Each structure stands twice: as structure tokens, then as C-alpha cells.
Chains A and B, each alone.
Chain A
Amino acid sequence: MNFLKKERTKDANYISAKESRAISKENKKITDEIEKKRKRKHIPEEEYVTKMKNPDNVVEFDNVHTYFFTDIGTVKSVDGVSFEVPQGKTVGIVGESGCGKSVTSLSLMQLVQRPQGQTVEGEIRFNMGDHAVNVVNAPMDMMQKLRGNQMSMIFQEPMTSLNPVFRIGMQVDEVIALHNPQMSKEEVKKRTIEMLQMVGIANSEGVYKMYPHELSGGMRQRICIAMGLACSPKLIIADEPTTALDVTIQAQILDLLRGLKNKINSSIMLITHDLGVIAEMADYVVVMYAGRVVEKGTVQEIFKSPKHPYTVGLMASKPVVGKDIDRLYSIPGKVPNPVNMPDYCYFRDRCEMCVEACKGKYPEQTVLSPTHVVNCYRYSESSGSNGNDKKEMKEVQ
């Protein structure tokens, strides 16, 4: 039985045309229904107006499932993700490519590629002051308002969010005018120049007249940040904002983000695979693996006492400047096929710290402290291997 399952997993990309057509038909049925619901003219308020669990949070992800209905099967990119972003704090989301970091943030913005991509379950509550909006069910015009005014997104490759044929000034003007319809043309321009100065562009009058290609990657990222902050958002979502940049430029941009966050008192959801960037910027850390949160905690908890074998492995895989080690720890194997996830711990096939209990179904959450939780049998009461875990993990490294 087990063998059969393996075979199917390996060849998940090679299903027959007939099978594929059948899946495609089934998908259309599912997505059509969701789309129909979403496109209703009047969506009653009770479907999306709700309350925050904790009014000090800006966002609460609550058991969010976002799937892609593809011709080779359903990709469960985000499969039951829960975490919150407290006001004024930075939450870092780490994990390898494809683990669902981006789809999580796109689900919040409702920018997942539709119709094949859909949030099919769970709530994403966004704090509106006296009430909350569950963005999963929110009407589209409301989302549009939220996106510009309350939350904004900064991407890895700034060139893709800038239009190459328009001057910088015009593009920033447009965003500012959109949020401030009462402003005159001159006021808009003045505000644009101010924004450019705020993000550390010295020659802002000159840059106002330039085209995107005339600027370096770091400068372009500054422009995107300026546009993102034009509305003083409550939440900044930064998806690998410095990955394409050199370290010296990265240092400038991180500095800028930190400063601006404090200035406009917003929260940041920072997505990156760089543990150094997370350690430096984040207050809380969420570790994702194969579409699920496997561990979360404060930055101190995650870096000083990482618990999940994946978190531990990730930290041991990366050389650290000034720390001499002969050989890097490398997590064996690779991420399981997203179309055919196993019914046991998703990390088990790569885990070198399995205990007897790991043969069972996917592990439940274990609460280690009010802020620190992990999904791993090593820490669940029943398996009782709590005392010596640390020692054994050291041995693996």
C-alpha cells in the first residue's frame, strides 16, 4: 500500500490526458461556484463583518486554506495556517520556496490568481477599529479600498511593480491622487517629492522625472516603498523585499523600513528565507513548511531555542560569519509533492529525529509557552521525549 502511494507521488506530474480532463471539469465546477458567490451584487454584511479575537492584533489568520485547482490535482498551498500580527510589531515568515509564504500574504490581499486559486476555508480578520472584516468573504470593492488604504505590499522585484514606460513622478503621483482625491495637482506633486525624500532619495526632484530603468535596484525598491506607504497603511506586507539586493543596499532598505514603521506606527509582515534578516527585524517568527505552520514564537524563542526539527535543520544549514564549522548540516531529501501530501507529519521523510509517535497522523499543536507553539511529536505530552530533545538535536548537527 505504502509502495503504491510512493509511485503515485512520483508520477503526479504525468497523469493521462483523460484523467486531466476529468480533474479540469471537476475544478471548474468548484471554482465556478465560489466565483458565483463572490460576484453577487449585494453581499450581506454578516458574511464578512466580524470581531477580532484580540483587538490588539492588526490581522488574525485563522485556519486559512488556500488551494490551487490545477489540471494535475489540487495544490494545497496554504493548508490550515493560523497566526496573528500584533499592532506595531513585525512578524517574520520563514520557509523554503514553495512552502506557501507568498500565497499566505496574497490570500490576505485577496490577490491569489483566480479562478484556480481560492481560499476555501478559514478566516482572515483585519482590524477596522470598531469591527473586523473577514477578507476571505469581503466584497471586491471593499477589498480594493482595504488594499490601498489599510495594507500595502512590497515585492521582491521592484521592476515588476513599476511601469517601465512612465516616469517615476507620474507613477507615485497616481497612487497619491488615488488616496487623496481632494488634493490639487500641485499638492499631489509636493507630497510625492516629500515621500521620495522620506524614503531617502536625495535628488528627489531629479528622480521625479526619471524612468524606472534609470535607477538602480535599491532605488527602485525605495520608490516601491514610497508608493506602498503613500496611504500610511496599518500593515506593510514585504515579500522578500531585499532578496534581489546586495547586502549593503539591503542594510539601507531594512533600516528604512524599520524607521518608517516606527514613524507611521504600522505593523510589518516580513516574508523572507534569510534567517539573518528575520533575526534583525522581527518580533515574532512563523516557520512554514509545505503549506503549514510548523512552529511559531517570539524571535528569542525561535532563535534561542528552536524546537521543530525543520527549524533546527534550517538554522544549522546556513553558515554564520565568524562561526567555524567543518561541515554544514544538510536536511536530507526534498519537500513532498504538493498534490499528494502524506497523511503523517509532512517533514517525516526528511526528519532525522523521529520518535515512535511520528508513525501516526499529522502532529497536533503543542503549546510550549503562551507565545511558542510547535507541531511535532517530540514535544507532545504523550510521546514523553521532552527532557532530552535538546541534547539529541545537538548530536545531529
Chain B
Amino acid sequence: MKTASEPLKQNEDNILEVSHLKKYFPIKGGVFSNVVGQVKAVDDVSFSIKRGTTMGLVGESGCGKSTAGRTLLRLIDKTDGNVLFNGTDIYALSKKEMRTLRPKMQIIFQDPYSSLSPRLPIGEIIGEAVREHKLVPKDELDDYITKIMASCGLQTYHKDRYPHEFSGGQRQRICIARALALNPEFIVCDEPVSALDVSIQAQIINLLKDLQEEYGLTYLFISHDLSVVEHISDTVGVMYLGNIVEIGATEDIFANPLHPYTKALFSAIPMPDPDAKPNRIILEGSIPSPANPPAGCKFHTRCKDCMEICKTQEPIAKDMGNGHVVKCHLYN
């Protein structure tokens, strides 16, 4: 295990290495708005992503997926831990250096409408940051935007139109084009298809896959839709209350889930087959508050395999082979 004093070195194959990342949000209360507690949204998360691959991040709403995505992009400040991007400790960079690096690390969101300025035409939305970062010569900008739009399935005449004239799927294409125009290496996709209809979802998923191939992109794909994650990801991390409880190759995770939470989560997926007999592990109760997570294993309040040790001691992450890592006392 890495300690803070060791020099940070990165495996060449990895584009991103996240170690012991924590993000706590203060809870303010009382008349003087004192800090009365902390929401441990991301609580000691470590993983790495190989260049050109997609890592899926799954878990129920509120488990910290989006916060993890934002913290590792340094869109919000970390509480603790490290993020290496291409060997660079991004939290050691000055504001100016971070600004130079920013185009390489992009994000697209679930709601493509609220992230598009309603008053700018599409061409401007896509080209704005390109111009600001001087990524292409001025006289080539227009052609460049046309080309990027075409790769995202948008027409040239869309350039002069405004966001409200587009459907949800088209708007997501615009967001993808805006990110792609900056020539990124890594994109965090935060529930990019969750708000879209099934047939439109397929179009966007296919687009993301095509762009990955063409531009050698790396994705962190955040979603609560497990079938979409299985389809698009090479590796998958399962989060529960700010922890990654299981991580590994997609085939391993789906064919052989080990953590009791992963098993319960997967058993809940409704299958589009009337003959499928769901063998459900129904989880009792709801997710505890991340402001006051249970001691020991955070899942112990809902785990049917809970043992005495689980109530007091936090399990450590154990590699079960092929990088399939699980955090549960059953395997310690």
C-alpha cells in the first residue's frame, strides 16, 4: 500500500490513478452556522483506469458516484488522497497549470439542457472553449467545429440553432461535441443516457463507443443502469456509501459477483424475459445516511451475511485474482 510520503509513481498503461480519495462535505447547523458534522460522500476510494478503456461506476443514488467523478477532475476540492493523471498529481498543480490541463479531462452530464447556455448558438457553444484555449488557429476554427459536429452526428446547419430547438438526444450530442472539441483524453460521463428514451440511449451509447475507438478516449462511465454499464465498460467499480466495495473486470464482476451488496444489486435487475424467475435478494430498509454511516462494514445494517466482526471492524480490500478486489470480511 502507498503511503503519503512515498513518491507518486504511475503505471505507464494507466491514464488515471486515484488513491485514498476522500471528499467530505461539512454539515452546517445552529445559529452561527457552525460545522456540526460531515457527509462522507467519498470515503477512501482507490482505483486506476487503463488508457483507452472504460471503467463503469455503479451504485444507488447518493452513494457518491458523481462526487467521486467531480473530485477526481478537481472540479471540486478533495478532502484527502491523490489523483494522478498521466503521472501528474493534479492537486499539486497551480490554478494556471490546471487550466492548461483542463481540456484533457472533460465531463458530460445527465441533463444536457441545464449544461447548455440557452442564449448561445450551437456552433458557439462547441467552439467557445476551443478558442479560449487556442487549440486550433482562428481561420481553421469553423472547419474544425464542422468536423467535430459531424463526428457526433450533428449537421452543419445546426451551428446557428439554439439548444431549445433540439431534442434530449441531440442535446446530449451537443454536449459530447463540446467536450470532444477540446481534444480530451479522458471523459467522465455522469449518467449520460439516464434521461433519454431507450432508442435514443442506444444512439448515444454507440456514439460514445465509436468516438472512443476513433480518438482513443478513456471513460469513467457513471450510471445506475447496470445493463448499460455492463455493455460499455471494461472494468466496473461498485460503490456503497462512499466506498468501492468491489471492483474488477466487467466479466468477472457480472459473472461472479462476490460482495453481498453487489449480489443484491444485480439480483434486483428486472430481465426483459417473462420466463426469467428472479431470485431476488431483497435488501431490507434503505441506505443509511452518509453523515452518520454505520461502524465497521458500512453495509452491515442491511447484509444478510453480517457477522460479529462486521459491526466493529472495517473490512480491507482483498484481491481475489485478476484484479477482482472485494471489501468484505467473508473473504478476509
| A and B associate | yes
Interface 0/1 of B255-274, CB less than 8 Å to A: 00000000011111111111
A218, A251, A275, A278 pick with most chain B CB within 10 angstroms = A251
Chain B residues, CB < 8 A from A248: 60, 264-265, 268, 282-283
**A219 interface residue (CB < 8 Å to B):** yes
Question: Given known contacts A246-B224, A279-B270, A319-B231, what 12 new A-B pairs fall within 8 Å (CB)?
Answer: A96-B197, A96-B200, A97-B197, A218-B286, A248-B268, A275-B272, A277-B270, A278-B272, A279-B271, A279-B273, A328-B231, A330-B199
Chain A interface residues (CB < 8 Å from chain B): 96-97, 202, 216, 218-219, 246-252, 254-255, 273-280, 299-300, 303-304, 313-315, 317-322, 325, 327-331, 334
* CB closest residue in chain B, given A246: B60
**B144 interface residue (CB < 8 Å to A):** no
* CB closest residue in chain B, given A244: B61
Q: Which 5 pairs of residues, A with B, have the shortest CB-CB distance?
A: A276-B270, A319-B231, A330-B202, A317-B202, A251-B268
* CB closest residue in chain A, given B228: A319
> B254 to A252, Cβ gap below 8 A?
no
B198, B227, B265 pick with most chain A CB within 10 angstroms = B198
B302 CB to closest chain A CB, in angstroms?
Answer: 9
Chain B residues, CB < 8 A from A202: 285
Bound: A348/B67 CA distance, A: 43
Do most interface residues of chain A lie in helix, strand or loop, or is the interface mixed? helix
**B319 interface residue (CB < 8 Å to A):** no
**B31 interface residue (CB < 8 Å to A):** no
Name 18 interchain pairs, CB-CB below 8 A, sorted by A: A96-B199, A97-B197, A247-B268, A248-B283, A251-B280, A255-B280, A279-B276, A280-B271, A303-B274, A315-B272, A318-B198, A318-B202, A319-B230, A320-B271, A320-B272, A321-B254, A322-B230, A328-B206
Among B155-213, those with CB < 8 Å from A are 167, 169, 197-203, 205-206, 209
Chain A residues, CB < 8 A from B203: 330
Among B260-313, those with CB < 8 Å from A are 264-274, 276, 278, 280, 282-283, 285-287
The size class of the interface chain B forms with chain A is 35 or more
B61, B266, B269, B270 pick with most chain A CB within 10 angstroms = B270
Q: A276-B271, A303-B274 are in contact. Are A249 and B231 (CB under 8 A)?
A: no
Chain A residues, CB < 8 A from B287: 216
> A252 to B282, Cβ gap below 8 A?
yes
**B141 interface residue (CB < 8 Å to A):** no
Chain B residues, CB < 8 A from A277: 270
Q: A97-B197, A327-B206, A334-B169 are in contact. Are A250 and B273 (CB under 8 A)?
A: no
Chain B residues, CB < 8 A from A329: 202
Chain B residues, CB < 8 A from A334: 167, 169, 200
Interface 0/1 of B60-87, CB less than 8 Å to A: 1100000000000000000000000000
